[in-house]
């Protein structure tokens, strides 16, 4: 009986070699690169076998972020349209987003995601989080200390939206990130820790988000010394911006170029302490109106930030909401003069004076009668305790008396809500109801 013939691996058919190579790639992250160096034959097989490249393992302690980015991009390209198995071995949680960023545009191809090290997580996308045919539009970042990492999930589904969650100690530098595909980003800071971002950190991060349309920043009132100079960044597609609970309002608004901004929400920006920073920009001089304010320093900062944003971007703002956020009288004047498309204005807990509400009256310029905010159709005044009821009545009756005739390019008020304003009493309600009718909503 003849002895069995031995078969060298080099004589195996390509189909078997591909299976062997795929097993090697699962167990050794860089196996495809090693295998293709053996011979021209193996190079051809590896380069033309997408299955060999569909297992991507990234380890932050063995290679630099630039190397891992090149690896991820090469694997995603060579695997063509096959489902991807993504494995992350991470010791530094601040590197999770930089490591994954080159692969996020291919998330619709992910079959599985596994993370080991600083956080443990396993997801089978086809089973519990279907992403086939979907894009990853929303990113939520929590800047805080990790104390319940076991309950946190990097990917989740909210109705039809697939959301990515990142927990970190600091925002990643833009130089470590591949361009991010997200159209909506939320950054939240933990109010119970000392971790917080600086304006330059936020602005730098946003430069890696060219598709951004909606940005929410929910911070905390850390009163740090602002940087002497900040870059101006352009967010060409941003249409909605919300800033909440932060002392960085001026720094952020003054550094953005947002030519498509439609909705601006400013919430809980008022503080009763002096903000740090020395400025000498146009408009920084004292307010000639000298109206009372419980939060003069944050009023000044918010107003100056809005001035810079509006002057630079000339945004087509349609909605401006100011919830426990205020400005000086001179800033209201400046802003109202430069928002020709504003339709909805809501302000809560403002110290705005009668002088401000009178800005909504018609006025004459160069012999022509006109109104500020000519497209305004919805006005809400909540808990504005410095306003007198008579000033509100006079301003709004005069305005609708003019705008109800519908001058060209002018809208009239269709919805007016006045709630919790102590100076606005029953007699003022009756006077305004006579003119506005069902358009007036009261508490």
pLDDT by residue (tens digit) across 361-398?
999 989 889 999 999 999 999 999 999 999 999 999 99
More confident call, 321 vs 29? 321
Q: Is the pLDDT of residue 10 over 90?
A: no
- Is there a domain that residue 372 lies in? yes
Backbone φ and ψ for 141, nearest 5 degrees, come out as -120, 125
Give me the pLDDT at residue 158, please. Answer: 79
* Mean residue pLDDT across the chain: 91
> Is 324 part of any domain?
yes
CATH number at residue 293: 3.80.10
Number of structural domains the chain divides into:
1
Higher pLDDT, 101 or 21: 101
In a domain, 388, yes or no: yes
Containing H/E element for 346? strand 344-348
Rg of the chain, C-alpha, whole Å:
29
For the record, the structure tokens of 205 come out as 């991060």
pLDDT of 252 higher than 90: yes
Task: Cite the beta strand spans of 47-135 per DSSP E.
Answer: 55-59, 84-90, 110-117, 121-124
* Residue tagged 């470590």 (tokens): 176
Domain that holds residue 163: 135-442
Kindly indicate the confidence band of residue 347, based on its pLDDT and cuts at 50, 70 and 90: very high
Percent of all residues in the chain with a pLDDT value above 70, rounded to a whole number: 93
Contact 94, 169 (CB under 8 A): yes
In a domain, 112, yes or no: no
pLDDT in tens, 228-246: 899 999 999 999 999 999 9
**The dihedral of CA 376, 378, 381, 387: what is its sign?**
positive
Residue 56 lies in a domain: no
**Would 162 be classed as within a structural domain?**
yes
Which pTM does this prediction carry? 0.92
Residue 31 lies in a domain: no
The pLDDT of residue 244:
98
Residue 117 belongs to some domain of the structure? no
CA-CA distance, 344 to 436, in Å (whole number)? Answer: 17
């Amino acid at each position: 009986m003849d002895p069995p013939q031995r078969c060298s691996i080099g004589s195996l058919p390509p189909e078997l070699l591909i299976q062997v190579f795929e097993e090697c790639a699962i167990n050794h992250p860089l196996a495809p690169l090693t295998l293709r160096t053996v011979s021209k034959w193996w190079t051809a097989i590896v380069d033309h076998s997408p299955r060999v490249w569909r297992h991507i393992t990234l380890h932050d302690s063995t290679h630099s972020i630039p190397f891992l980015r090149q690896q991820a991009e090469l694997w995603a390209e060579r695997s063509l349209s096959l489902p991807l198995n993504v494995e992350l071995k991470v010791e530094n949680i601040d590197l999770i987003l930089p490591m994954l960023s080159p692969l996020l545009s291919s998330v619709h191809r992910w079959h599985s995601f596994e993370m080991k090290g600083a956080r443990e997580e396993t997801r089978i996308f086809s089973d519990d989080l279907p992403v086939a045919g979907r894009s990853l539009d929303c990113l939520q970042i929590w800047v805080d200390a990790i104390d319940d990492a076991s309950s946190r999930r990097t990917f989740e589904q909210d109705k039809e939206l697939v959301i990515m969650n990142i927990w970190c100690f600091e925002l990643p530098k833009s130089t470590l990130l591949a361009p991010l595909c997200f159209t909506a980003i939320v950054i939240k800071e933990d109010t119970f820790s000392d971790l917080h971002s600086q304006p330059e950190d936020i602005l730098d991060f946003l430069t890696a988000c060219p598709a951004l349309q909606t940005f929410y920043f929910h911070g905390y009132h850390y009163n740090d010394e602002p940087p002497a100079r900040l870059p101006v960044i352009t967010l060409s597609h941003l249409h909605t911006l919300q800033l909440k609970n932060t002392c960085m309002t001026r720094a952020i608004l003054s550094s953005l170029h947002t030519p498509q901004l439609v909705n601006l929400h400013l919430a809980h920006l008022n503080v009763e302490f002096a903000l740090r920073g020395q400025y000498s920009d146009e408009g920084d001089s004292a307010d000639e109106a000298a109206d009372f304010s419980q939060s003069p320093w944050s009023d000044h900062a918010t107003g100056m930030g809005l001035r810079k944003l509006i002057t630079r971007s000339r945004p087509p703002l349609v909605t401006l909401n100011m919830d426990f956020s205020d400005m000086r009288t001179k800033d209201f004047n400046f802003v109202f003069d430069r928002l020709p498309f504003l339709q909805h204005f809501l302000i809560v807990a403002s110290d705005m004076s009668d002088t401000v509400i009178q800005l909504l009256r018609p006025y004459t310029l160069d012999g022509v009668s006109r109104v500020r905010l000519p497209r305004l159709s919805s006005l809400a005044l909540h808990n504005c305790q410095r306003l007198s009821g008579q000033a509100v009545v006079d301003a709004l009756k005069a305005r609708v008396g003019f705008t109800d005739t519908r001058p060209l390019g002018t809208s009239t008020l269709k919805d007016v809500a006045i709630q919790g304003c102590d100076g606005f009493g029953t007699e003022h309600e009756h006077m305004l109801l006579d003119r506005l009718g069902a358009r007036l909503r009261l508490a």
